[in-house]
Amino acid sequence: MAKKAVATFNAKAGERKMMKCIKMDKSPKTGAYVFNEELVDAEKAAEFFKN
């Protein structure tokens, strides 16, 4: 399950919508679950979860 927090940043070219995406992965070393957090562009959020 992913949490999303939407933020808007003013850039020189205009406004960009960013999302904070959190993905749960299993560590290959210990077998424990690790949470990866990343701030990604709103259009590229689906791409983040595919990888």
- The model's confidence at residue 35, banded by pLDDT at 50, 70 and 90, is very high
In the chain, the amino acid numbered 46 is: A
**Per-residue pLDDT averaged across 24-29, rounded?**
91
Does residue 10 have a pLDDT over 60?
A: no
pLDDT at 42: 84
Residue 40: how many other CB atoms lie within 10 Å: 15
Residue of higher predicted confidence among 6 and 23: 23
**Distance between CA atoms of residues 48 and 25, nearest Å:** 12
The model scores a pTM over 0.75? no
- pLDDT confidence of residue 9: 57
